[in-house]
C-alpha cells in the first residue's frame, strides 16, 4: 500500500474491509434482529476454532474509506454490527462517528484485546484465552459471550464473569464444530448456574450469513 493509504488506515479513516452484508443477528441479546454487518480484516488473537480465519490477514482485504462503508450501511438498516477479525485492531472513532451522524445504532463484537475506540450502543465482549481483554472494556461490556469448546472453558467463563460490570448479560455459546458434545454440558451448567444464558449461532441453523 502507498504510504498515504497506510496513514489513512492508521487513522481509521480507511479500514481493511473483508465483507459487509445485511442479515439477521444470530447470536446473543439481539438475536433475531435485522442488522448490517461490517466485517473488518485483521486479527492476531489466533483462536484455533475460528470460523473466519480468512479475516486474519489484513493485507488481503482492500482498504476502504469509512465514508463509503457508512453510505453502504445506511441503505439497509439502523442496526450496525462491526465484527472481524478483531475490529479494535483499528481506530473505530471515524467509523462510529459517521454511523452516528446517520442516526444508526452501533454494535461491536470484540475480544477486547485492544484499546476500546469508537462510540458504541452495544458491546459484545467475547474474551479469548490467548489474548485477554483490557481492564477497561470489562466495565463497559453489555454482554459477555464465552465460547465453550471443552470443559475447561467453564472455568475461564467464570473468571471472565467475575470481571464484568453487574449489569452485563452472561452467555455461554458452544463452539460450532463441537456443539453436539458441548450443548448438553452447557444446558446442565446453565440450569445449575442461572446467572448464565445459552447463546446459539442461530444464523447457522437458519442457513444465512
Residue 8, classed as helix, strand or coil, is: helix
Tell me: the pLDDT tens digits for 137-159? 999 999 999 999 999 999 999 99
> Residue 72 maps to which CATH number?
3.20.20.70
Tell me, rounded to whole angstroms, the distance of Cα 14 from its chain centroid.
19
Split into its structural domains, the chain has a count of 1
pTM above 0.85, yes or no: yes
The pLDDT assigned to 124 comes to: 98
Residues 33-65: pLDDT tens digits? 999 999 999 999 888 878 888 999 988 999 999
Range of the domain at 106: 3-205
With 0-12 / 13-18 / 19 or more C-beta atoms within 10 angstroms meaning exposed / middle / buried, residue 104 is buried
Q: Which three cell numbers stand for residue 90?
A: 483499528
**pLDDT tens, position by position, 86-134:** 999 999 999 999 999 999 999 999 999 999 999 999 999 999 999 999 9
Amino acid at each position: 500500500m502507498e504510504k498515504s493509504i497506510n496513514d489513512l488506515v492508521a487513522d481509521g479513516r480507511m479500514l481493511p474491509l473483508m465483507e459487509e452484508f445485511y442479515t439477521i443477528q444470530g447470536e446473543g441479546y439481539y438475536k433475531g434482529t435485522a442488522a448490517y454487518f461490517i466485517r473488518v480484516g485483521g486479527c492476531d488473537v489466533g483462536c484455533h476454532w475460528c470460523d473466519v480465519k480468512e479475516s486474519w490477514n489484513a493485507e488481503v482485504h482492500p482498504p476502504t474509506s469509512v465514508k463509503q462503508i457508512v453510505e453502504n450501511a445506511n441503505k439497509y438498516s439502523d442496526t450496525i454490527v462491526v465484527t472481524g477479525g478483531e475490529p479494535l485492531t483499528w481506530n473505530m472513532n471515524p467509523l462510529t462517528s459517521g454511523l452516528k451522524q446517520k442516526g444508526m445504532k452501533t454494535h461491536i463484537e470484540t475480544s477486547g484485546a485492544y484499546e476500546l475506540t469508537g462510540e458504541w450502543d452495544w458491546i459484545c465482549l467475547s474474551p479469548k484465552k490467548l489474548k485477554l481483554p483490557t481492564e477497561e472494556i470489562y466495565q463497559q461490556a453489555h454482554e459477555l459471550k464465552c465460547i465453550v469448546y471443552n470443559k475447561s472453558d467453564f472455568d475461564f467463563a467464570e473468571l471472565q464473569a467475575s470481571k464484568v460490570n453487574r449489569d452485563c448479560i452472561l452467555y455461554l455459546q458452544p463452539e460450532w464444530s463441537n456443539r453436539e458434545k458441548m450443548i448438553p454440558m452447557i444446558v446442565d451448567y446453565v440450569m445449575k448456574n442461572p446467572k448464565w444464558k445459552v447463546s446459539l449461532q442461530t444464523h447457522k441453523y437458519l442457513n444465512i450469513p
